Amino acid sequence: MGCAASSAQEGALNAEAMRDPLAKSEPGLDSYYSPPRVGPSPCLRAFSITTLLLIVSMLFDATQKLPLDRLGAQLHQDIGCDVTCARLLGEAGYLLTMGVAALLAGAFADLVGHRPRTLAIALTLCAVLVGVTSAAGSVGALVVPRLLTALPNSLAVPLLFPFLLDKAKSGSTQGIGTLVGVLCLAPHLASGFLAFLSWVGTWRTAFATLTVTSLAFSFPLLALPESPPRPPHAEAWCGPPPAADLAAACRGIRALLSHSPSLRLLLCAQSLLRLATSACAHGLPALLVHERAASWAQVDAAENALCGTTFPLVVVVGALSDVFVRRTGASRIWLWVGFVAATFIFFFPAVYVTSSVDSAGANVFMILLYILSSCTDSLKYLTLIDATPPQALGRALGLQMLIVDGVGSLGAPLFDAFAQGKVLNQYSPYQASVVFFGVLPTLLALAAAVPAALSATPSRLELDLHLRAK
């Protein structure tokens, strides 16, 4: 009887368990149970996440590229800030400040991984500081919040790209190059967005509109998935890393450079190329205006047309880099070296083209330079990924922002100083500046890029994805 009763009781329990699998489970297991999600497909969800990251990256880039130099007339009339001061503060000073802050931000990103809350806070702080800048009544009130905006903006790149790498490691992407190419659209979209804001209103209206837009897109960031902290011992804390870990990560920057000759050479080559392209991109429109009797309106129209026609190249180049790595197993740096060599060859006829043709021919030169610079910029982050260990990517991105963007931001002021000094009198000042800031830095960049490619290793991330696909 007892045996029959026990078997009947066991049968009842089994039947009850079949009706509700979690009814007789251990306490606490129900917290791990989650019903299947009903929603968009993984492909559509990945596309929506990438679109959100593209918009957020565009807003960060727009905050960085506020056109203080193009709004120089309004700034001078309103608060007495001249164009030279605006360029130094809006470009060189801002990028150098952001680069220094990016070293700490990169170390923070290596410790905590991808944190959407941190990105949302950074975008909100940028929006608030841009709003404060829009109410500036003096040069000092414009300078201080402008430089402070560089601090939260420095978190954008070190936190965005680890998120893409986490997605690629999980096998949810076809290639990291395509996604990075999509995010490289952000500077071009930011330029068009700022040009539109400058066209529809004053500089205060442009700043206020950027503030409202940034605040609106900071909230959807909270819906993005988070990645786990990077260090093995990091599960013990939830929040900012201990000061000792952060200090150790910052000290690791020196070790990263000392143990990675490819990274050292790559940063040197990228900074020289950025100096050349930024100086000539600023100087060629000035050459058209001062020596070809063109107007700034014509130059702006040509640049806006370039943004609309050439910005898809960054996605195409990113996708081609995926194909290049999968087919050859080589580092993406070799593809970047090819674009550097093309830029160097292209700079040679600069003096003859600009001195012997009209403004239409010089416009062709400017278009080709813009196309080449777009292609090389689309590979800037991808080559760094190939040359850097994944656990140190944030610090490498911080170094890139400091060295490459910081040195590149000096291109336009140096070009102006060189041209106004009328150096090399056998040429016009602007033609001599194109030679000095175009040919020579690009030659040095090519000399550093080839050894960097020779010492680089194939991208482990792409090779893993390639083997997984097989």
**Three-state SS sequence of the chain:** CHHHHHHHHHHHHHHHHHHCCCCCCCCCHHHHCCCCCCCCCHHHHHHHHHHHHHHHHHHHHHHHCCCCCCCHHHHHHHHCCCHHHHHHHHHHHHHHHHHHHHHHHHHHHHHHCCCHHHHHHHHHHHHHHHHHHHCCCCHHHHHHHHHHHHHHHCCHHHHHHHHHHHHHHCCCCCCHHHHHHHHCCHHHHHHHHHHHHHHHCCHHHHHHHHHHHHHHHHCHHHHCCCCCCCCHHHHHCCCCCCHHHHHHHHHHHHHHHHCCHHHHHHHHHHHHHHHHHHHHHHHHHHHHHHHCCCCHHHHHHHHHHHHHHHCCHHHHHHHHHHHHHHHHCCCCHHHHHHHHHHHHHHHCCHHHHHHHCCHHHHHHHHHHHHHHHHHHHHCHHHHHHHHCCHHHHHHHHHHHHHHHHHHHCCHHHHHHHHHHCCCCCCCCHHHHHHHHHHHHHHHHHHHHHHHHHHHCCCCHHHHHHHHHHC
Q: Are 208 and 125 in contact (CB under 8 A)?
A: no
Name which residue leads in pLDDT, 30 or 167.
Answer: 167
* Average pLDDT score over residue span 7-35: 38
Look at residue 138 in the predicted model and tell me its pLDDT.
74
Tell me the pLDDT band of 77, cut-offs 50, 70 and 90: low
pLDDT digit string, tens, across residues 147-196? 888 888 888 878 777 676 666 555 444 567 777 777 777 777 777 777 77
pLDDT digit string, tens, across residues 206-218? 788 888 888 888 8
Tell me the pLDDT band of 459, cut-offs 50, 70 and 90: low
* Average pLDDT score over residue span 224-230: 64
* Average pLDDT score over residue span 392-403: 80
Structure tokens at 23: 């009814």
Q: Please determine, for residue 229, whether its predicted confidence score (pLDDT) is greater than 80.
A: no
Tell me the pLDDT band of 227, cut-offs 50, 70 and 90: low
Look at residue 173 in the predicted model and tell me its pLDDT.
47
Q: Are 459 and 269 in contact (CB under 8 A)?
A: no
Tell me the pLDDT band of 105, cut-offs 50, 70 and 90: confident
User: Domains in the chain, ordered, with CATH?
Assistant: 46-231 (1.20.1250.20), 251-470 (1.20.1250.20)
Name which residue leads in pLDDT, 77 or 135.
Answer: 135
* Average pLDDT score over residue span 219-237: 62
Which range, 17-31, 41-55, 181-195, is most confident? 181-195
* Average pLDDT score over residue span 91-116: 75
Q: Please determine, for residue 1, whether its predicted confidence score (pLDDT) is greater than 50.
A: no
Look at residue 63 in the predicted model and tell me its pLDDT.
77
Q: Nearest-CA neighbor of 393 among 465, 459, 447, 335?
A: 459
pLDDT digit string, tens, across residues 351-385? 556 555 555 666 666 677 777 777 787 788 888 87
* Average pLDDT score over residue span 295-324: 68
Tell me the pLDDT band of 15, cut-offs 50, 70 and 90: very low
pLDDT digit string, tens, across residues 424-455? 444 566 666 667 777 788 888 888 888 888 87
Q: Which of 86-100, 137-151, 280-294 has the lowest mean pLDDT?
A: 280-294
Look at residue 49 in the predicted model and tell me its pLDDT.
72
Q: Please determine, for residue 230, whether its predicted confidence score (pLDDT) is greater than 60.
A: no
Q: Are 156 and 125 in contact (CB under 8 A)?
A: no
* Average pLDDT score over residue span 94-115: 75
Structure tokens at 358: 């009209």
Q: Please determine, for residue 389, whether its predicted confidence score (pLDDT) is greater than 80.
A: no
The residues near 169 (Cβ < 8 Å, ≥ 6 apart) are 461, 464
pLDDT digit string, tens, across residues 114-135? 677 888 888 888 888 888 887 7
Name which residue leads in pLDDT, 171 or 340.
Answer: 340
Q: Please determine, for residue 401, whether its predicted confidence score (pLDDT) is greater than 70.
A: yes
Q: Please determine, for residue 2, whether its predicted confidence score (pLDDT) is greater than 80.
A: no
The residues near 350 (Cβ < 8 Å, ≥ 6 apart) are 280, 365, 431, 434, 435, 438, 439
- pTM of this structure: 0.70
pLDDT digit string, tens, across residues 243-294? 666 676 667 777 777 777 788 888 888 888 888 877 776 666 666 666 666 6
* Average pLDDT score over residue span 96-102: 79
Tell me the pLDDT band of 406, cut-offs 50, 70 and 90: confident
Q: Please determine, for residue 101, whether its predicted confidence score (pLDDT) is greater than 50.
A: yes
Tell me the pLDDT band of 39, cut-offs 50, 70 and 90: very low
Q: Are 146 and 90 in contact (CB under 8 A)?
A: yes
